[in-house]
Amino acid sequence: MGSIPGRFFTAVLAIGVLTLTGCGTAALPEQRIADAERQSVLLTDHPDAVAALRDSSYRIGAAMLAADPEGNQVTSPVSALAALAMLRVGARTTTAAEMDSVLGLPAEHRDEAMNALLAAWAAHDGDPATVDGEEPPEEPLLHLANGLFPAEDLPLEAAFLEPLAQHYGTGVYPVDYRTGGALDGMNAWVNHHTGGRIEEVPIEPSERTRLNIINTVYFAAAWADPFDPQSTETGPFRTSSSLVQTPLMYTVMPLKYADGDGWQGVDLPYNNGFVMRLILPEEGTSPVLDEAALAQANKEMDDAGEGLVALTLPSWDHSYDLDLKEVLTTMGLEEAMGETPDFSGISADGLYVEGAAQSANITVAEKGTIAAAVTQISMAESGFAEPDVEITFDRPFLYQILHEDTGMPLFLGTVMDPGTQ
């Protein structure tokens, strides 16, 4: 199937409308999709592909954690996987092969498996705006959204748009990157789908930006058995360099528990099938596990039995920004993140990834957890001519204003300090 011209695409496949409220904040863009209905797929339809995507998410997650082993991190492997899977829909030839190999994506039924996962999570969907930040909901709320923000005149391939609608439920919002409307619209969309926890996309459009692929994940849930605030006391927490005092929550309850080579772990449950898995390494070792160690710890925790656990856990409220393009390049996506990839399945205009980033935050306290993440893949057109020479006037220089026909200098001067008279 061929590409869809910009004007036809805007009129038929999607309409993006951006209005401004009286207080100057951008309202949520309106989106409409036609000619491609969401398909129904179950997790049991393609179990091997679903398992491969789970392994891929942990592979991506381990790489993201390794990028900053000393910092407070909060990342969303699921958000990154969803954005990369949408990008993979448009990859071709060696770029597609590289993404499959490096990320461990399933060879078959990748999009169908993502559809099944998204459908399973949709059973817990809700409106993030309804969540009280002080009172996480008893019934866990998990909200994911996928958005495509192409330039209004960018011709997109039908073979790219249709799978995104059929399997990812991706909203399409044509925007004008020459004005501030594109940034306002993306920010409003992210703000809406994260319940205001993330107000802006991590990457602002550049003069070359032609497309943004964005995923958001929002999670809010109360603990199945909340911590008693009366049991929270200030106590010591040993960082890598010092001993600090921090609020420590305490409880005694039956929990799934396991220990392995140099670690202990517990599953702290929310309601209805969600848990926070906590892995404590032995003293003096890093909590950042590589892919193999993370997989082994998860296997042992999955098989663990339940015991009565006295649990002391700090509360925390963290935000984190990650240069995902650097992480993915380090993983081995050199062609896909380089300047000459083959994303001809998206558009014939020759797009490359100019930036990839994730912003995330999490609040963990006595009553439960609220967390949000946005993953953004920003794509630019590679057809712009590169300059032959770069010159920066950042030191004293001479200038002339000449009459070309006679060569006479109408003005002649020097700039020694542009900030003084």
Residue 17 pLDDT more than 70? no
Q: Is residue 176 exposed (0-12), middle (13-18) or buried (19+ Cβ within 10 Å)? A: middle
> Is residue 227 in a domain?
no
Q: Is residue 195 domain-shared with residue 297, that is, in the same domain?
A: no
Kindly report the CATH number assigned to the domain that includes residue 277: 2.30.39.10
> Is residue 249 in a domain?
yes
Q: Is residue 148 domain-shared with residue 61, that is, in the same domain?
A: yes
| End position of a domain, from candidates 314, 344, 363 | 314
Tens of pLDDT, residue by residue over 288-323, are 888 898 889 989 999 999 999 999 999 999 999 999
> Is residue 334 in a domain?
yes
| End position of a domain, from candidates 314, 345, 362 | 314
Q: Is residue 309 domain-shared with residue 326, that is, in the same domain?
A: no
> Is residue 411 in a domain?
no
309-to-206, 231, 382 alpha-carbon distances in Å: 52, 15, 57
Q: What average pLDDT score do residues 319-347 get?
A: 96
pLDDT of residue 353: 98
Q: Is residue 370 domain-shared with residue 247, that is, in the same domain?
A: no
Q: Is residue 261 domain-shared with residue 323, that is, in the same domain?
A: no
What average pLDDT is seen over the chain? 87
> Is residue 276 in a domain?
yes
Q: Is residue 268 domain-shared with residue 339, that is, in the same domain?
A: no
Q: Is residue 342 domain-shared with residue 299, that is, in the same domain?
A: no
Kindly report the CATH number assigned to the domain that includes residue 47: 3.30.497.10
Domain region containing 326:
3-222+317-381
Q: Is residue 30 domain-shared with residue 131, that is, in the same domain?
A: yes
> Is residue 401 in a domain?
no
The DSSP result for 199-266, as a single string, is -S-SS---TTEEEEEEEEEEEEEEBSSPPPGGG-EEEEEE-SS-EEEEEEEEEEEEEEEEEETTEEEE
Domain count, the chain: 2
Lowest mean pLDDT among 35-44, 110-119, 359-368: 35-44
Residue 1 pLDDT more than 70? no
